Amino acid sequence: MKTPLILLCLLVAMCGVVVASFVTEEAPTGRGVTHSTFETMDEGGPASRHTHSVLTLGWIFGMLQVALFVGFLTLAARRDARGLIRALILSGVAYAEVFTITVFVYQQNVATAEAEFIGSFPAATTWMLFGLWPVPFLFVVVYVVGFRRWVWSPDDRERFEQILAARKAQPEAPQ
Amino acid sequence: MEAYRPIIILVCVGIYLVMCIGVGLWAMTRTKSTRDFFMAGRHLGIMVTSVAVFSSTMSGFGFVGGPGLVYKMGISSLWMVVCTSIGYSLTFFLLAKRLRLFAELRDSVSLPDAVMARYNSSTSSCLTAVAILLGVMGYLATQILAMATVLQSILAGIEWIGEIPLEASVAISCLVLVFYCVTGGIIASVYTDLVQGFVMMFAAGLVFVAAMLAVDGGFEGMSRTLVADDPEAISPWGTLGIIGGLSWYFLFTLGGCGQPHVITKLMMTRDVGEARHMLPMTILGYTVSALLWIGIGLAMRAVVLQGLHPELTKADDAAPAFLQSYAHPLLAGIVFAGLLAAIMSTADSFLNIGAAAVVHDIPRAIRGRSLQHELFWARTATVIIAVIAAGFALYSGERFVALLGAFGWGTFAAAIVPTVAIGFNWKRATPLAANVAILSSLFVNFAVKVLGMLTGFTIPFGIHEGAVALIVSLTLFFAISLMSTPQKIDEDIEAVMEM
């Protein structure tokens, strides 16, 4: 019961973010405007459109999402699979850290008004593409490595065969 | 070679379409029952399922709309791509085991069947089927329109054919699609998905290289051009900004678990244990295919900004313009085939689940039993749904298609994520909560769209209405379930939910 209650609280907080977006001041270029030269493109304009309050609201929105995703993953885990739940939470912490770094690096760039490059992209974009994209692969590793132990064990298979056999033995099993 | 470009493209596309017909004929010999038609006899292996799952997700939008969005908004739309690793993880953790076990235990042939098994509620099952049908109509109409437009532009390049009416193009493309869907049902659909998936990956990989070569300095050159013009476009949030971009991330990450044409594939697998291998393979397939989305979008924005290419007439022309100007004719041919593949692999899944809703789910929910001669009616319904969707696409006008489009990803996400992805993993979830979640998803998505059309209303910071609908439906689902009296679940289903 604890996990669903936590999830409900997270969801209510997300509703709060949506409500907060209605009362937070949005810059004229807040969601992009038509490019000054090319009509079929948009431009974001000055990075100052991401004021401190907008960035904070965005960071909260992102962190709530990470928490919600990890919460949903744990909802799928058996209650006795503590190792799985621990692995998911630890992976979630790494995920949240990378997201925070992405926002932080972007904020630094806004403050210095110049784009620092890492590889081929501005630093914050590099964190998004090469950090935030692959880091949830930790969950995939947990799934693949822990599959037989926590997701579908030989005992589960045997138990399911029994349930199936019992159901087939019922004279008029409802479909 | 350049002089023969239109012919080469037509030949590549022709080979692909003939291959689809061949798969349809082969699958017909393997389709003997409704279970074969809707569930592929639950015999799908690792490779087929993995490719079918990712290629059904990557619709024509990914190959046309995706590059167009990157061209228009910079990095913003990549939030729909970087969500793949977490999105598919959620789908597999929450659904791969449960859906497959429910399907075997109750011999389910559709998602509403599994909903019926879980909630013991014909209302929940019927509402799920109705939400699916509405979504299918909207999605299918836009996919058919996209398919016909692509075919029309290919044929227009051939001198002796010239410009053909859109109606004729719809007829030709639908004929192939409907042929293999009617003859081979979901078996034809998933095996064409297999071909389509590999075509998409191959095409995307080559295009990505071509895109890097098209701009001086490769990716860094593109990046610096974009920074010089508008640093925000190449920032992690793109021109849309942080809150709007993250709303897309939320919708496309969690919404993936609610796409019926995708998750139904998880009911068709040969063995639950194979899900372990499918998850990484699915992510790999989608990631490779998405290279086209990223590569073309960034390259076209950069070359236009550099003045090396005239401005596009509309953003969605990014992919066709790139192929015409920067890709070798043979590559262009493969990519055009890949483009049709991306559209058809999604459309065929929609046709199949739509037919299941009409001939199986809704009659069962209302009358308590399916139609007689279900296989015959399933084939008939497939044709009828395709004809109606084609009619909507051609004659209902842009506004109506846009309204139908509202019943797409966002509605599926808000209706099915709570009811199926969460409800199948949480015993306390109640049918009442599921019904309210489905109705709220329809209402919020529709209301915001209509309000937008009538008054120009938009949610601040470009927050996607589908994300709001998903948050609302999930909140209602949890709150109502926790407040209402727990419902009794059948023993066998409860035992499976404890696994």
pLDDT tens over chain A, length 175 residues: 689 999 999 999 999 999 999 999 999 999 999 999 999 999 999 988 999 999 999 999 999 999 999 999 999 998 888 999 999 999 999 999 999 999 999 998 877 767 788 988 999 999 999 999 999 999 999 999 999 999 999 999 999 999 999 988 876 655 4
Contact B246/A8, CB-based, under 8 Å? Answer: no
In this complex, the residue of A15, A21, A75 whose CB is nearest that of residue B422 is: A75
Predicted pLDDT at B397 = 66
Per DSSP, the three-state class of B216 is coil
Per DSSP, the three-state class of A42 is strand
Q: What is the DSSP letter of B61?
A: I
- CA–CA separation, B74 and B239 (whole Å): 6
Contact A41/B240, CB-based, under 8 Å? Answer: no
Mutate to test the interface with A, among B34, B246, B263, B298 (most CBs of A within 10 A): B246
Closest residue of B to A137, CA-based?
B85
- CA–CA separation, B54 and B287 (whole Å): 9
Strand pairing class (A33-34; A42-43)? antiparallel
**Token pair belonging to B88:** 């598919």
CB B309 within 8 A of CB B216: no
Per-residue pLDDT reduced to its tens digit, B14-28: 998 898 899 889 998
Per-residue pLDDT reduced to its tens digit, B388-423: 989 888 887 666 655 665 568 888 999 999 999 999
How far from the centroid of its chain's Cα atoms is residue B335's Cα?
Answer: 18
* Angle at the Cα of B48 from the Cα atoms of B332 and B495, rounded to 5 degrees: 145
Contact A73/B89, CB-based, under 8 Å? Answer: yes
How far from the centroid of its chain's Cα atoms is residue B343's Cα?
Answer: 8
Residues 6+ away with beta carbon under 8 Å from B325 = B309
Q: Which residue pairs, CB below 8 angstroms and at least 24 apart, start in B225-231?
A: B225/B302, B225/B305, B225/B306, B226/B74, B226/B298, B226/B301, B226/B302, B226/B305, B227/A115, B227/A122, B229/A43, B229/B305, B230/A35, B230/A43, B230/A44, B230/A45, B230/B74, B231/A44, B231/A47, B231/A109, B231/A115, B231/A122
CB B247 within 8 A of CB B241: no
Residue at A2: amino acid letter: K
Predicted pLDDT at B419 = 97
Which helix (H) or strand (E) segment holds residue B41: the answer is: none
CA-based torsion, B5, B9, B14, B19: positive or negative: positive
- CA–CA separation, A151 and A139 (whole Å): 13
- CA–CA separation, B299 and B5 (whole Å): 22
Return the biggest CA–CA distance within chain B. Answer: 72
N residues, chain B: 499
Tell me which residue of B438, B45, B113 sits closest to B264, measured CA to CA. Answer: B113
Which comes out higher in pLDDT, residue B446 or B469? B469
Which comes out higher in pLDDT, residue B193 or A132? A132
Contact B243/A58, CB-based, under 8 Å? Answer: yes
- Residue B416 distance to chain A (closest CA, Å): 14
- pLDDT band at residue B335 under the 50/70/90 scheme: confident
Query: How many residue pairs from chains A and B have C-beta atoms closer than 8 A?
Result: 260
**Token pair belonging to B344:** 């058809």
Predicted pLDDT at A119 = 87
* Angle at the Cα of B102 from the Cα atoms of B99 and B103, rounded to 5 degrees: 80
Predicted pLDDT at B402 = 58
- CA–CA separation, B363 and B368 (whole Å): 7
Contact B242/A58, CB-based, under 8 Å? Answer: yes
Q: Can you tell me which residue has the tokens 């679940």? A: B489
Closest residue of B to A102, CA-based?
B236
Which comes out higher in pLDDT, residue B338 or B412? B412
CB B171 within 8 A of CB B147: no
Contact B235/A164, CB-based, under 8 Å? Answer: no
- pLDDT band at residue B135 under the 50/70/90 scheme: confident
- Residue B22 distance to chain A (closest CA, Å): 35
Specify which residues A33 forms β-bridges with.
Answer: A43
Q: Chain B residues with CB inside 8 Å of A140's CB?
A: 85, 88-89, 279-280, 283
Could you tell me if residue B394 is left (phi over 0), alpha (psi between -120 and 50 degrees) or otherwise beta? alpha
- Concatenating the DSSP letter of every residue in B392-440 gives HHHHSHHHHHHHHHHTTHHHHHHHHIIIIIITTT-TT--HHHHHHHHHH
B472, burial (CB in 10 Å: exposed 0-12, middle 13-18, buried 19+): buried
- Residue B24 distance to chain A (closest CA, Å): 30
Per-residue pLDDT reduced to its tens digit, B78-114: 999 999 999 999 999 999 999 999 999 999 989 999 9
Percent of chain B exceeding pLDDT 90 equals: 54
Closest residue of A to B84, CA-based?
A133
- CA–CA separation, B152 and B168 (whole Å): 9
**Distance spanning both ends of chain B, measured CA to CA:** 60
Predicted pLDDT at B415 = 94
Contact B237/A106, CB-based, under 8 Å? Answer: yes
Return the biggest CA–CA distance within chain A. Answer: 75
Predicted pLDDT at B373 = 86
Residues 6+ away with beta carbon under 8 Å from A117 = A123, A126, B220, B223
Mutate to test the interface with B, among A160, A162, A164, A168 (most CBs of B within 10 A): A160
Say what angle helices B5-28 and B166-214 make with each other, to 10 degrees: 120
